[in-house]
Amino acid sequence: SLYFYKTDFVEKKGVNLTPDDRGYYFGDGIYEVFRVYNGRIYEQQAHMDRLQKSAADVRITLPYSLEQIGDILTKLVQLNELVEGTIYMQITRGEAPRAHPFPAEATPVLLAYTTEVKRPLTTIQNGIHAISLEDIRWLRCDLKTLNLLPNVMAKQTALDRGVQEVVLHRNGTVTECSASNFMIVKDNVLYTHPANNLILHGITRAVVLRLANALHIEVQEVPFTLEQLQQADEAFITGTTVEVTPVLTVDGSPIGTGQSGPVTRKLQLEFERTFAL
Ligand code: PLP
């Protein structure tokens, strides 16, 4: 399966990454993960818009126009004959000897590849368990940057404690999860953290909120606490790879019945209809 690296489609061994790539020394770069359903890139425009915002706010000049990047990704999917899977794409600030200031002349480096990772049907169906954990990340969680050490640490803490995910909170206010957004249902109202600087503005989150509106489910983009989470009827995560996955327990306590709930299931069904065309 081919990679796109800098200017060309190459085999993995043709990816001549250098340690001087600032992604390596500083995590100085941005990324996107796309889902491919039926050979088509899902919500491509939304991902491109977010990429543009991440790039602008960390002051990386994209090495290609958004249209050219779209063409590169489409070609990559075609060359790799990808039907179902994901595309990983990152853009780092460029190559230069290690020093904090932006290099005067460095060309941003684009790397992209595809995977054949399938939809996680078992957890989508059966749900997952989570623990709560303090959100110790910086104050620009809306930028999709390569600095994922806090997310990596959080995810590993979950696995070490025998569950699949963490619900992150700042002083008791729930933000999101290690690689997904988080939503609860209480009295048929859907609650999720507002799309501000404290969470990633998930593409799946936006799709699910649109679907909820269409289903006349009331949506409240307001912060809620761990206590409110424990009193909720349903909880689920949203993300490109996890889609809509029920969360059955948090810190060992069942949310609602401790089973996947009716609002979650309705949103899952509607979500499937957005790509199963
Ligand atoms: N929150 C974080 C921290 C993420 O890394 C991700 C990425 O998958 C999400 C939320 C979900 O965003 P999206 O639905 O765009 O995949």
Closest CA to 132 of 163, 103, 89, 99: 163
DSSP string spanning 224-240? Answer: -BHHHHHT-SEEEEEET
| Res. 30 pLDDT band, cuts 50 70 90 | very high
Q: Which of 30, 240, 242, 275 to mutate to test the pocket of ligand 1 (most atoms within 8 A of CB)?
A: 240
* Residue of 6, 75, 118, 144 marked catalytic: 144
* Domain locations along the chain: 3-115, 121-273
On the question of a common fold for 3-115 and 121-273, the answer reads no
Provide the CA 161 distance to its chain's centre, in angstroms: 23
Chain-wide mean pLDDT for the chain? 98
Cα–Cα distance, 253 to 243 (Å, whole number): 23
**What pLDDT score was predicted for residue 50?**
98
Provide the CA 107 distance to its chain's centre, in angstroms: 26
Residue 248 DSSP one-character state: E
CATH of domain 3-115: 3.30.470.10
Distance set, CA 42 to CA 39, 193, 201, 258, 274 (Å): 9, 24, 16, 31, 9
pLDDT over 70 percentage in the chain: 100
**What pLDDT score was predicted for residue 86?**
98
- Catalytic site includes residue 13: no
In the block, tokens 């939503």 appear at: 183
CATH of domain 121-273: 3.20.10.10
pLDDT digits (tens, 9 = 90+) for 112-168: 999 999 999 999 999 999 999 999 999 999 999 999 999 999 999 999 999 999 999
ipTM of the complex: 0.99
Instruction: List all residues whose CB is within 6 A of at least one atom of ligand 1.
Output: 33, 151, 176, 179-181, 200, 202-205, 238-240
Beta strands in the chain (DSSP E): 3-5, 8-10, 29-37, 40-41, 85-92, 109-115, 128-134, 165-170, 173-177, 181-186, 189-192, 218-220, 234-239, 243-250, 253-254
pLDDT digits (tens, 9 = 90+) for 39-70: 999 999 999 999 999 999 999 999 999 999 99
Checking if the pLDDT of 22 tops 90, the result is: yes
User: Closest Cα to atom 4, ligand 1: which residue?
Assistant: 179
Cα–Cα distance, 9 to 75 (Å, whole number): 9
Mean per-residue pLDDT, 67-76: 98
**What pLDDT score was predicted for residue 103?**
97
In the block, tokens 């190459």 appear at: 10
Checking if the pLDDT of 277 tops 60, the result is: no
For residues 224-242, one letter each, b for 16 or more C-beta atoms within 10 angstroms of the residue's C-beta and e for the rest, the string is beeeebeebbbbbbbbbbb
pLDDT digits (tens, 9 = 90+) for 197-238: 999 999 999 999 999 999 999 999 999 999 999 999 999 999
Residue 266, SS3 per DSSP: helix
pTM: 0.98
